Amino acid sequence: MKITTTLITALSLATTPVLASDVVRISGWGGNDLVVVNSLLNEVLADDIRAAGITVRYEPVEGDFAQYLTNALSAGTAADVFYVDSFWGAPLFRSGAIAPVSNANQAVADALIPALNEAFMYNGQLMGLAKDFNTLALQFNKDIFDDAGVAYPTMDDTWHDFRSKLQAVSTNLGDVHGICVVPDYARFAAFALGTGWSPFNEQGHTVLDDRFRDAFEFYTTLPDQGAGVMAADVGQGWMGGCFGDETTAVAIEGSWISGFLRDQAPSMQYGTVGIPVHPGTGERGNLIFTVSWSVANDSQVKDSAHKLIELLMSPKAQQWVLESGLALPSRESLGNNPYFNGTGQEAEISRVVFNGASDGYVEPFAFAQYGGDWKSIMDEALGAALLKERTIDDAIRHAQQQFDRLTGR
Amino acid sequence: MNQSMLRQERTAGLMFALPFCVSLFVFFVYALVRTVLFSFQTYDLFSTPEWVGVANYIALLTDPLFALALKHSLAFAVVVTTLQTGLALLLALAANQKIKGRGAFRTIFYFPSILSSAAMTLIFLWLFQRQGLINQGLGWLSAHGGLIVTGGLLFFALQTLQFLWKRRKYTWMRWGDPFNGLVSFAVTVVVMVIMAGYGIGVRALEQPVAITWLNTREVWGPLPRTIWAIVAMNIFTTVPTLMLLYLAGLQSIPESLYEAARIEGASRWQQLRHVTWPRLMPVSFTVVTLGIIGTLQMFDQVALLGDAAPLESKVTLAYFTYHNAFPPGGSPRIGMASAAALVLATLTLILVLIQRAVGVSETTND
């Protein structure tokens, strides 16, 4: 009996087809993203993933993802595939813990908006594929502009036009401000970059030159010029908050504001145009906020990990992301997608934000190996000038000293 | 006891002590040794650590942010330990009174300490906004300053009048008699309401009070304004716990000592000065020591501020250590973080030893 059982077991094992299924662990942040990734894996790509012989184990992380990833990569416990934000990517790329994009995925990389690939270049190698992105755009409340009798902002507005319109709104309506400004480089950059200034020169140093001063003065004096107010003075922490409660006529935010407005101000009629252009250069400045899919260098299933990323970045997956209205996919060809030609305000904001990645002086929201240390110097200078704790020249001089210490000169 | 039983008892004792010894070794001895080693190396968690001798310590000495963190930590420790010890004692004395609803008062006093510091910090972030409750309260005080001063003077005058009147009638009365105080207070409130109704003592503010508490570089005295906001948060959450220690201390003082003091004619102040305070010395020692350790290591409230405040206005030694270990968007600087952590540990030890040598004693001296 025992022999018979053993023979049957051996026979059945021999006739069972071998399923070479690599288990690929993927990791990202929790919150809303959990639903998005689960839907993408289980509803859109399930068959493709199975056909590729891959089993995906999804491990979302709540809390500080950058810190988790740094610890996990250094301890060798990181997932095979994970998000890398352009803001904190450089130190991880430099550590050698992340594998460059494989040759097999080069075709995918070539299909992406070039500026997105720039955000993940390190020492001439592409270290991740931008899964989606956002840029800044100008949202304006149509009713407020109508009530004030002021023309809507347009794509051709210069800084001066922009400021004049905000001043006119404030003057004509009294209880509505033009814009609420925040001491945050992530918004101020829309003006600083438009002058042609760059956060780092060719030697990798930060130099706050006259172009920078031009933007710094324009931005920090918007409240003095009667064109705006500090967000903190109207009880808000971001431009979207002031815009959502109709305290201000405009905001400078990415497409993430559309979900907020859908909830907070569902009846608001708003339009979206690009950032105003600098009167001198005739260009607009913009930041790209993006996150890549990257692979751990010590992954035991590197080929499958790269294959999985290829699927996650496939036209089918990106089309689903776009149509879900969850994020802006990074394939350049999707710029021609019918979704962007819609007349709705959310289609409009998506179109302007998508085009923002290729329009004017665009930089990734990344500061080499300095990360938050760089940004905090800039934010402090903006805060000091906006609060009148330093004059514009003092704030710039103090910031330059700190940048010299940080980036050298 | 025979040898076998003695051996068994010894083994049992060792087995009981083993978990503690293991955790002590892993999480303290081993961690301390590693930290000391890292403090002499450059290490970013990825590459092989490189021996640099005392370079990290020299870098600390030349880093303006470290000097700022050290200054903030020391000033914060002195200010908060002093304030929280005094307030805890006052609250404990109040909560120890034999009055109606004593349990309710004790619960109310103790309530802030059961809330997590994370939750409290988020609430305080809201309170300290430019249009938050703190500024609105200051605005109200500023607008009604004249009325409040007038009310205070009126109360003082009424109380003094009652005192003098009773003395004239040869009736004994303390100036601070609670019943007469209640009468004075009631009359004062009525007069103030009438004055407010006529707009007397009330002024319209040209601008609402808009002090920037958090996102500012302003310095008030020894600390940035941002850290003064953290002082308020910290005291609010720590005082109740320390009050509980004092309350336990107060209740352990025998009533017979007060009876003897009263028979000798000691006033309330003399009882407090010569009976209560000396008997509370061991508790004060605990409270001050816990205060110094807790304030020097204060971290969570600074970390939770996030981008709401500039780094220079909020950095303390504990945050400086964390900031070096996990710089936002930057490479970990474990060597610098370890050196700073050891400086913090040494500083804490020195301050506790100093306070033990010259500060509050741990014995009752009797």
Question: Over the stretch A288-324, which tens digit does the pLDDT of each residue have?
Answer: 999 999 999 999 999 999 999 999 999 999 988 887 7
The top-scoring range by mean pLDDT among B77-81, B91-95, B106-110 is B77-81
pLDDT of residue B104: 82
pLDDT of residue B111: 84
DSSP secondary structure, A244-298, as one string: HTTSBSEEEE-THHHHHHHHH-TT--EEEEPPPBPTTT---EEEEEEEEEEEETT
pLDDT of A3 > 70? The answer is no
Bridge partners of residue A252, in order along the sequence: A138
pLDDT of B8 > 50? The answer is yes
Question: Over the stretch A158-169, which tens digit does the pLDDT of each residue have?
Answer: 999 999 999 999
Q: How far apart are the first and last CA of chain B?
A: 41
Considering CB atoms only, which of A74, A94, A389 is closest to B218? A389
CB spacing of B328 vs A371 below 8 angstroms:
yes
pLDDT of residue B340: 97
Report how far residue B319's alpha carbon sits from residue B297's, in angstroms, rounded to the nearest whole number.
9
pLDDT of residue A5: 56
Question: How many Å lie between the alpha carbon of A119 and the closest alpha carbon of chain B?
Answer: 14
Whether B356 and B362 have beta carbons less than 8 Å apart is answered as yes
Beta strand A179-181 with A228-230 is parallel
Considering CB atoms only, which of B129, B212, B326 is closest to A67? B326
Report how far residue B4's alpha carbon sits from residue B10's, in angstroms, rounded to the nearest whole number.
10
Q: Which two tokens stand for residue B312?
A: 């220079």
A residues 202-261 lying closer than 8 A (beta carbon) to B = 230, 232-235, 237
Question: Over the stretch B252-284, which tens digit does the pLDDT of each residue have?
Answer: 999 999 999 999 999 889 999 999 999 999 999
Q: How far apart are the first and last CA of chain A?
A: 84
Query: Residue A332's closest CA among A111, A87, A150?
Result: A111
Task: Find all residues with CB under 8 Å of A154, minimum gap 6, and list them.
Answer: A161, A273
* Average pLDDT score over chain A: 92
Question: How many Å lie between the alpha carbon of A375 and the closest alpha carbon of chain B?
Answer: 10
DSSP secondary structure, A380-395, as one string: HHHHHHHTTSS-HHHH
- Please state whether A248 falls in left (phi above 0), alpha (psi between -120 and 50) or beta: beta
pLDDT of residue A1: 47
Which chain A residues are Cβ-neighbours of B220 within 8 angstroms? none
CB spacing of A376 vs B311 below 8 angstroms:
yes
Which is higher by pLDDT, B88 or A336? Answer: B88
User: Is A199 near chain B, with CB under 8 Å?
Assistant: no
pLDDT of A15 > 50? The answer is no
3-state secondary structure of A320: helix
| CA-based R_g, chain B, Å | 27
Which chain B residues are Cβ-neighbours of A376 within 8 angstroms? 310-311
pLDDT of A7 > 80? The answer is no
Q: Which of B211, B216, B217, B302 to mutate to test the interface with A (most CBs of A within 10 A)?
A: B217
Considering CB atoms only, which of B46, B308, B311 is closest to A95? B46
Considering CB atoms only, which of A91, A235, A379 is closest to B129? A235
Lowest mean pLDDT among A372-376, B49-53, B300-304, B306-310: B306-310
Distance from the Cα of residue B323 to its chain's centroid: 24
Which chain B residues are Cβ-neighbours of A402 within 8 angstroms? none
Interface A-B, measured as beta-carbon pairs within 8 A, has a size of 85
pLDDT of A146 > 50? The answer is yes
pLDDT of residue B228: 95
Which chain B residues are Cβ-neighbours of A184 within 8 angstroms? 307
pLDDT of residue B304: 87
User: Is A33 near chain B, with CB under 8 Å?
Assistant: no
Residue A219 half-sphere exposure toward CB, CA atoms < 13 A: 32
Question: Over the stretch B218-242, which tens digit does the pLDDT of each residue have?
Answer: 899 999 999 999 999 999 989 999 9
Q: Tell me, what DSSP letter sits at residue B276? A: I
Query: Residue B227's closest CA among B67, B66, B64, B68?
Result: B68
Report how far residue A244's alpha carbon sits from residue B84's, in angstroms, rounded to the nearest whole number.
42
Letter string b/e over residues B207-224, b meaning 16 or more CB atoms within 10 A of that residue's CB: eebbebbbbbbeeeeebb
Question: Over the stretch A237-255, which tens digit does the pLDDT of each residue have?
Answer: 899 999 999 999 999 999 9
Query: Residue A139's closest CA among A264, A32, A304, A226?
Result: A264
pLDDT of residue A252: 98
Which is higher by pLDDT, A409 or A5? Answer: A409
DSSP secondary structure, B276-332, as one string: IHHHTHHHHHHHHHHHHHHHHT--HHHHHHGGGS-HHHH--HHHHHHHHHS-TTS--
pTM: 0.84
Question: Over the stretch A83-97, which tens digit does the pLDDT of each residue have?
Answer: 999 999 999 999 999
Average the pLDDT over B329-336 and give the result: 92
CB spacing of A383 vs B328 below 8 angstroms:
no
pLDDT of residue A17: 45
pLDDT of residue B270: 92
pLDDT of B200 > 60? The answer is yes
Which chain B residues are Cβ-neighbours of A389 within 8 angstroms? 216-218
pLDDT of residue A9: 54
Q: By percentage, how much of chain B surpasses pLDDT 70? A: 98
Question: Over the stretch A80-137, which tens digit does the pLDDT of each residue have?
Answer: 999 999 999 999 999 999 999 999 999 999 999 999 999 999 999 999 999 999 999 9
**pLDDT confidence tier of residue A8, bands split at 50, 70 and 90:** low
Lowest mean pLDDT among A2-11, B49-58, B64-73, B103-112: A2-11
* Average pLDDT score over chain B: 90
Q: By percentage, how much of chain A surpasses pLDDT 70? A: 95
Average the pLDDT over B120-146 and give the result: 89
Q: By percentage, how much of chain A surpasses pLDDT 90? A: 81
Considering CB atoms only, which of B215, B328, B332 is closest to A383? B215
pLDDT of residue B203: 85
Whether A218 and A238 have beta carbons less than 8 Å apart is answered as no
DSSP secondary structure, A21-79, as one string: -EEEEEEEE-THHHHHHHHIIIIISHHHHHHTTEEEEEEEE-S-HHHHHHHHHHHT---
Q: Where are the beta strands (DSSP E) in chain B?
A: 41-42, 50-51, 219-220, 223-224
**pLDDT confidence tier of residue B206, bands split at 50, 70 and 90:** confident
**pLDDT confidence tier of residue B328, bands split at 50, 70 and 90:** confident
pLDDT of residue A200: 95
pLDDT of A20 > 90? The answer is no
CB spacing of A235 vs B46 below 8 angstroms:
no
**pLDDT confidence tier of residue A16, bands split at 50, 70 and 90:** very low
**pLDDT confidence tier of residue A23, bands split at 50, 70 and 90:** very high
The top-scoring range by mean pLDDT among A93-97, B94-98, B209-213 is A93-97
Which is higher by pLDDT, B72 or A337? Answer: B72
Chain A residue with the nearest C-alpha to that of B207: A233
